[in-house]
Amino acid sequence: MTRPAGRPATGPAHLPLRTRLALLACATVALITVGVCTAAYAVIRYELGHQLDLQLTQAATLATQQNRGEPPGVLSGECRYLAAPACAQLVPADAADDPSGAYLLPVSDTAREVAAGTHAPYYTDLTLHGHPVRMLTTPYTAGEDKALQVALRSDTTAKGVRQATWLFAAISVAGVALAALGGNWMARRGLAPVARLTATAERIAATRDARTRIDLPSGRRDEVTRLAASFNTMLAELEDSVAARRRLVADASHELRTPLTALRTNAELLARADRLTPAQRDRASTALGRQIHEVTSLVNDLIELARDEEPTPLVEEVPLAPLVAHAVETARAHWPGVPFTLTVTPEATSTTLPGVPSRLSRLLANLLGNAAKFSPPGSTVEITLLVGELTVRDHGPGIAPEDLPHVFDRFYRAEASRALPGSGLGLAMARQIAEAHGARLSAERAPGGGALFRLVFAVTGPDA
């Protein structure tokens, strides 16, 4: 089976929109969470370290004040207990001046340099008796050529940093997990109408059934809902048009059956012409000619009806008065026994209508033809052109009230007119042409008898 058009291929660039949105939302939130946690961790780590260094500086100042002029050696304490004060020792620049007893804290060459004043004070992290310790080595200000080393246990700081690490790592992981869930939920929820829309569109494409509709959530007016609503409107129009086409084809084939049967009968009759009298032969061939003509005009009308819109390139500003005059002239020639009267008001002489002249002529010919066909011989047909309105009125039998709503239907012919030639397509076509020109065509019963057809349109032209 082939893949439906528009279905994504595999590969990261072809991930469904929902997945992409979810990933994007998740990545954004995760990045923010991890960034904020990292920054907070860095600040806390710095602050804790800074605090310890401050304590060490204070301890160094205190030790200097309390131990003025002391010789090198241990000044105070052992850094064994957390609550113990800082331990301190004095280190001479020259190792020869070292005391006989052992130092508490390790003495490096750098410490000697600090004592000699050739190195800046510095901090060291050590482990002493199994405990983490931070040591400050700084010049001893209360005596010559000696360095003061003070140390404090740094367990609490290390523990604090460790806890902060765990805490922020946990927050980051939870944040990323929540972001993944949230992003997925958001994308799923936000795109649910799109998913429904896609599913419906795919279903219609697969089944070619335009009756399907998308369920619209009530009370929502977001972009997707509006898109779905437009899609439904489009589907409704598609359904109408499909139904209209089906009806047209069904009606047409039904209507064509009768004349075609008659045609076949006559043709079969003429095939056995040798058994017919000359008069019978003449009758049959005349009938055949008439039927062929009827079928031809029926087929032509159907083809015209099947066209929905006027072809745009043919649209022009049509001067109405000359067009109507010409149509009346043609009708007079076609129906010599029917007097046609044309009245054009002075204001209407120069009005124009954007349209296709041949189609407008066809509309008029259909109306005038009906008027002539349905009125008794010798009774006038009155045509009046006003600004924005054209009426065709005859003095025939008129249209029965029950037929009025149907005369514009395809193939509709009132009971009384079935004896006259015609297929019932003339008015359907006239209305279709009127609608394509933005005009409205309606039928009425004229006061005093007869039928009145009214075409109302929006004029352009100088007097409009």
Ligand X SMILES: Nc1ncnc2c1ncn2[C@@H]1O[C@H](COP(=O)(O)OP(=O)(O)OP(=O)(O)O)[C@@H](O)[C@H]1O
- Indicate which of Mg ion, ligand X, none lies near residue 451 (CB less than 5 to 8 Å, by partner kind): ligand X
Give me the sign of the Cα torsion angle 110, 114, 119, 122.
positive
- Indicate which of ligand X, Mg ion, none lies near residue 357 (CB less than 5 to 8 Å, by partner kind): none
| Nearer to ligand X among residue 253 and residue 460 (C-beta) | 253
| Nearer to ligand X among residue 388 and residue 396 (C-beta) | 396
- Indicate which of ligand X, Mg ion, none lies near residue 355 (CB less than 5 to 8 Å, by partner kind): none
Pair 366, 426: CB distance under 8 Å: yes
Number of residue whose CB is nearest ligand X: 426
Residue 396 beta carbon to ligand X: minimum distance, rounded to whole angstroms: 5
Residue 441 beta carbon to ligand X: minimum distance, rounded to whole angstroms: 11
Q: E-assigned strands of 10-52?
A: none
Residue 390 beta carbon to ligand X: minimum distance, rounded to whole angstroms: 15
Tell me which residue of 390, 368, 382 sits closest to 321, measured CA to CA: 390
CA distance 456 to 341: 20
Number of residue whose CB is nearest Mg ion: 426
For residue 33, give every residue at least 6 positions away whose Cβ sits within 8 Å of its Cβ, in sequence order, or none.
Answer: 171, 172, 175, 176, 179
Residue 388 beta carbon to ligand X: minimum distance, rounded to whole angstroms: 22
Binding site for ligand X (CB under 6 A): 366, 370-371, 374, 394, 396-399, 407, 412-414, 417, 422-428, 451
- Indicate which of ligand X, Mg ion, none lies near residue 70 (CB less than 5 to 8 Å, by partner kind): none
User: What DSSP string describes 111-158?
Assistant: HHHHHHTSS--EEEEEEETTEEEEEEEEE-TTSSSEEEEEEEE-HHHH
Pair 272, 265: CB distance under 8 Å: no
Q: Give the CA count within 13 Å in the CB-facing half-sphere of 150.
A: 22
Tell me which residue of 23, 449, 85, 411 sits closest to 254, measured CA to CA: 411
| Nearer to Mg ion among residue 291 and residue 366 (C-beta) | 366
Quote the distance between the C-alpha of residue 36 and its chain's center. Answer: 36
Residue 303 beta carbon to Mg ion: minimum distance, rounded to whole angstroms: 17
Residue 404 beta carbon to ligand X: minimum distance, rounded to whole angstroms: 9
Residue 426 beta carbon to Mg ion: minimum distance, rounded to whole angstroms: 3
- Indicate which of Mg ion, ligand X, none lies near residue 414 (CB less than 5 to 8 Å, by partner kind): ligand X
The CA-CA-CA angle for residues 295, 431, 387, to 5°, reads 135
Residue 412 beta carbon to ligand X: minimum distance, rounded to whole angstroms: 6
- Indicate which of Mg ion, ligand X, none lies near residue 175 (CB less than 5 to 8 Å, by partner kind): none
| Nearer to Mg ion among residue 85 and residue 422 (C-beta) | 422
- Indicate which of Mg ion, ligand X, none lies near residue 41 (CB less than 5 to 8 Å, by partner kind): none
Residue 31 to residues 18, 115, 143, 230, 302: CA-CA distances in angstroms? 20, 49, 55, 38, 67
Binding site for Mg ion (CB under 5 A): 370, 426
| Nearer to ligand X among residue 356 and residue 429 (C-beta) | 429
- Indicate which of Mg ion, ligand X, none lies near residue 424 (CB less than 5 to 8 Å, by partner kind): ligand X
Residue 396 beta carbon to Mg ion: minimum distance, rounded to whole angstroms: 13
| Nearer to ligand X among residue 90 and residue 385 (C-beta) | 385
For residue 270, give every residue at least 6 positions away whose Cβ sits within 8 Å of its Cβ, in sequence order, or none.
Answer: 276, 281, 284, 285, 288
| Nearer to ligand X among residue 92 and residue 450 (C-beta) | 450
Residue type, 324: V
| Nearer to Mg ion among residue 33 and residue 370 (C-beta) | 370
| Nearer to Mg ion among residue 370 and residue 391 (C-beta) | 370
Residue 332 beta carbon to ligand X: minimum distance, rounded to whole angstroms: 17
Q: How many residues does the chain have?
A: 464
Tell me which residue of 417, 437, 424, 434 sits closest to 301, measured CA to CA: 424
| Nearer to Mg ion among residue 60 and residue 381 (C-beta) | 381
Tell me which residue of 385, 382, 407, 383 sits closest to 456, measured CA to CA: 385
Could you tell me the two tokens for 407?
Answer: 């005369």
- Indicate which of ligand X, Mg ion, none lies near residue 160 (CB less than 5 to 8 Å, by partner kind): none
- Indicate which of Mg ion, ligand X, none lies near residue 75 (CB less than 5 to 8 Å, by partner kind): none
